[in-house]
Chains A and B, each alone.
Chain A
Amino acid sequence: DAKTTQPPSMDCAEGRAANLPCNHSTISGNEYVYWYRQIHSQGPQYIIHGLKNNETNEMASLIITEDRKSSTLILPHATLRDTAVYYCIVRAVNTGGGNKLTFGTGTQLKVEL
C-alpha cells in the first residue's frame, strides 16, 4: 500500500472549514484513499473514501487531485466535537478478505472557540 504523509497537527476555529491535507505521491491505479478519525479513547470512525473523483457525504468532502498524488479532507463547518486524530489511508483492494488497515500517525486536529 502507498505511504501517506500528513502534518502532525492543525488548529481550526469553530465554525470555519477545516482542510486536512494528505500526500500520497506513490499511489497506484487500484488504490483508494480513505479517511478515518479517532476521538480520544474511542474506536476509529470512517469518514469518506474515493478513487479519483471528488466525493461528498454528510460528514465531509474529499478532494483528490487530478494526478491522485494528494488529497484534502474538508470539514465544512468544524465544531469542537471534530477535535480528533485524522488518518489518511491509501489501500489497494482485492477480492478476498484481509484488507487490513494500516494507520500512520495522522493529523491531530484541534478545534477551538
Chain B
Amino acid sequence: DVKVTQSSRYLVKRTGEKVFLECVQDMDHENMFWYRQDPGLGLRLIYFSYDVKMKEKGDIPEGYSVSREKKERFSLILESASTNQTSMYLCASSPGGGGYQPQHFGDGTRLSIL
C-alpha cells in the first residue's frame, strides 16, 4: 500500500512564525502535491513537484514556498504565518508518466495560526 506520511496531525503556531510542514512518501512517486482544504472552498492546489528540485505553482501559492531535495520528501513552508492560513493541509503523491494514475493522500495537518 502507498504510504504518505505528514509530520504532524495538529499544529498551533503564532502569526509571523516560519512554519514547516513535512511530507514523506514511500512509493518512489515522481509527483508530489500540497493542497489546503477549507469548508465551502473544497480542495485547492498550492504547489506541486514532478521531480527532485522541480516545483510548479498551483492555484494559491502566495505566502507559501516548497522544497524537494529528495524524491521521497516534499516540504511546505509558510514564510510568515498569518491567520488566514489556518487550514487543513494535505500532501499527496502519484507516479509519473501518463498522468492518469491516482493521487494518494496523507492524513493531513490541521494547522491553527493564532
Which residues of A are in contact with B by a Cβ distance under 8 Å? 32, 34, 41-46, 49, 51, 93-105
A99 and B102 alpha carbons, distance in the complex (Å): 10
Cβ–Cβ contact B99 & A102, under 8 A = no
Within the complex, the shortest CB–CB distance from B91 to chain A, in Å, comes to 8
Q: Which residues of B contact A46 (CB under 8 A)?
A: 102-105
Taking a contact as CB atoms under 8 Å apart, the answer to whether B102 and A97 are in contact is: no
Shortest Cβ distance from B44 into chain A, in angstroms? Answer: 9
Question: Which residues of A are found within 8 Å of B104, using beta-carbon distances?
Answer: 46
B107:A43 contact, CB within 8 angstroms: yes
Q: Are B99 and A94 in contact (CB under 8 A)?
A: yes
Determine the distance from Cα of A100 to Cα of B23 in the docked complex, in whole angstroms.
Answer: 17
Write out, one digit per residue, whether chain B residues 68-102 have a CB within 8 A of any chain A CB (1) or not (0): 00000000000000000000001010101111101
Interface residues in chain B, defined as those with a beta carbon under 8 Å from any beta carbon in chain A: 4, 6, 30-31, 33, 35, 42-43, 45, 48-50, 54, 56, 58-59, 90, 92, 94, 96-100, 102-108, 110
A51 to B59, CA, bound (A): 26
Partner of B56, one of A93, A98, A104: A98
Q: Which A residue's beta carbon lies closest to that of B51?
A: A97
- Please pick, from B45, B90, B97, the residue contacting A43 in the complex, using a CB distance under 8 A: B90
Most chain-B Cβ atoms within 10 A of its Cβ — which of A43, A93, A96, A99? Answer: A43
Residues of A near B30 (CB, < 8 A) are 97
Give Cα A14–Cα B90 distance, bound, in whole angstroms: 30
Residue contact B58 to A104, C-beta cutoff 8 Å: no
Partner of A102, one of B42, B94, B100, B107: B42
Also in contact, A98 and B58, with CB within 8 A (given A42-B107, A44-B90, A93-B98) = yes
